[in-house]
Amino acid sequence: MFNDPQSIDSMLIDGAHAPTYPLIANQITEKFKIKKGTAIDVGAGPASLSVAMARITQLEIYAMDLSPEMLEIAQTSIKKEGLENRVKTRMGDVHQMPFQDEFADLVFSRGSMFFWKDLTTAFREIYRVLKPGGAGYIGGGFGSSAVRKKVKNQFKRKGSRSYKSPPKIHVDTLEIAVLEAGIDNYLLINDESGLWVLFKKQQNYTI
């Protein structure tokens, strides 16, 4: 989620951002109706979205991150929720994911996309590990303008200095990367919910 795990304020994990993850988890499941099978959370950070997804689905989820520090925090969060049997941590880089071809039914990610070094390579890897008929829900944001406002107000009230907005990605840059990755069945969202790209690895499917 962030490029400096040591700077993450504890309120980011359990406090201010808490409303964001259940909302986005519901948006993912409502969109694709994938509630069973295998999922990968790319750049999972403290596994907040993994946990939120596990609460409302029966998915087996791999919370993947490059940072050992983040994976330790994630393992603590997962254990706290009693989800060790369904949410596993995995060290990995989105540019060379440690999963075989056609491994996952769903790949999701919130926030890490803005720190990827090569968007095209990353999306190509995500597409590679998806099963035919699998779906990707990748991007960043708060899910709604109301939650975005609530989160930012909480940071202001608590005087947190550790939160920094992620780097920006222009929607055209994102679309070019998706197309170059060979993904032609996609939907771009750029509104109050954030910047997202949704796609299916299946022909003759309209998002």
What CATH number is given to the structural domain containing 146?
3.40.50.150
Domain membership flag for residue 112: no
Helix (H, G, I), strand (E, B) or coil at 191: strand
What torsion do the CA atoms of 141, 51, 187, 185 make, to the nearest 10 degrees? 150
Q: Tell me the pLDDT of the chain (207 aa) as tens digits.
A: 434 433 343 334 444 446 789 999 999 999 999 999 999 999 999 999 999 999 999 999 999 999 999 999 999 999 999 999 999 999 999 999 999 999 999 999 999 999 999 999 999 999 999 999 999 999 998 655 554 555 555 555 555 554 556 678 999 999 999 999 999 999 999 998 899 999 999 755 556
126-140 in b/e burial notation, b at 16+ Cβ within 10 A?
bbbbbbeebbbbbbb
Q: What is the pTM of this model?
A: 0.84
Q: What is the pLDDT of residue 5?
A: 39
Q: What is the pLDDT of residue 108?
A: 98
Q: Rounded to whole angstroms, how far apart are CA atoms 207 and 205?
A: 6
- Residue pair 95/118 in contact (Cβ under 8 Å)? The answer is yes
Domain membership flag for residue 206: no
Domain membership flag for residue 45: yes
What does residue 101 show for φ and ψ, rounded to 5 degrees? -60, 145
- ∠ CA(43), CA(48), CA(54), 5° rounding? 105
Q: Which domain holds residue 33?
A: 5-105+117-200
Domain membership flag for residue 207: no
Q: Count other C-beta atoms under 10 Å from residue 71's C-beta.
A: 22
Q: Rounded to whole angstroms, how far apart are CA atoms 47 and 80?
A: 12
Domain membership flag for residue 205: no
Q: Rounded to whole angstroms, how far apart are CA atoms 110 and 1?
A: 7
Domain count, the chain: 1
Domain membership flag for residue 110: no
Question: What element of type H or E holds 68?
Answer: helix 68-80
Q: What is the pLDDT of residue 19?
A: 77
Q: Count other C-beta atoms under 10 Å from residue 203's C-beta.
A: 9
Q: What is the pLDDT of residue 154?
A: 55
Percent composition of the chain: helix, strand, coil (DSSP 3-state, to 5):
40, 25, 35
Domain membership flag for residue 40: yes
